[in-house]
Structure 1
Amino acid sequence: MTKGPDEQKQVVLQVGAVLKKLRKEKNWSLEDLSELSGVSKLTLGNIERGETNPTIGMLWKISKTLSIPLMSLFSNKENTVNLSRAGKGLRITGNEKSWAIEPIFQNSTNETEMYRAYLQPNSSYYPEKHHQNTTEIATVMTGTLSIQVNNESYKLNQFDSISFGADGEHSYTNDSNELVVLHIILKYGV
Structure 2
Amino acid sequence: MNREIDDSKQVVIQVGAVLKKLRKERQLSLENLSEISGVSKLTLGNIERGETNPTIGVLWKISKSLSIPLMALFSSGSSVNVSRAGSGLRIFGDDGNWAVEPIFQNPNPNNEIEMCRAYLQPHSSYYPERHHPNTTELATVMAGTITINVNKESYILNEYDSISFDANETHSYINETNDVVVLHILLKYGV
- Normalising by structure 2, we get a TM-score of 0.92
Whether the 8 Å CA contact 2:126–2:173 is kept in 1: the answer is yes
- Superposed, 1:1-190 pairs within 5 Å as 4-78=4-78, 80-107=79-106, 110-190=111-191
Aligned residues of 1:71 and 1:108 also touching (Cα < 8 A): no
* Deviation at residue 50 of structure 1 after TM alignment: 1.4
Secondary structure class of the residue paired with 2:104: coil
Contact in 1 for aligned 2:138/2:162 (Cα 8 Å): yes
| 1:140 maps to amino acid | V
Distance 2:83 2:74 in 1: 15
Secondary structure (helix, strand or coil) at the match of 1:35 reads: helix
How much has 1:149 moved relative to structure 2? 1.0
Question: Which runs of 4 or more aligned residues in structure 1 lie more than 6 Å from their structure 2 counterparts after TM superposition?
Answer: none
Q: CA RMSD in A?
A: 1.5
Structure 1's unaligned 5+ residue stretches are: none
Q: Secondary structure at the match of 1:4?
A: helix
Shift of 1:65: 0.6
Secondary structure of residue in 2 paired with 1:132:
coil
Deviations 1:49-76 (A, max 9, x none): 1111111110011001100011111111
List per-residue Cα deviations over 1:10-47 (Å, max 9, x = no partner).
Answer: 22121111111111111111111111111111111111
Q: Percent identity at matched positions?
A: 72
Q: How far is 1:93 from its partner?
A: 1.4
Rounded to whole Å, the distance in 1 between the matches of 2:52 and 2:101 is 19
Amino acid corresponding to residue 72 of structure 2 in structure 1: S
Separation in 2, partners of 1:48, 1:85? 25
Instruction: Name the SS for the 2:6 alignment partner.
Output: helix
TM-score, normalised via structure 1 length = 0.92
- Counterpart secondary structure, 1:104: strand
> How many residues align structurally?
187
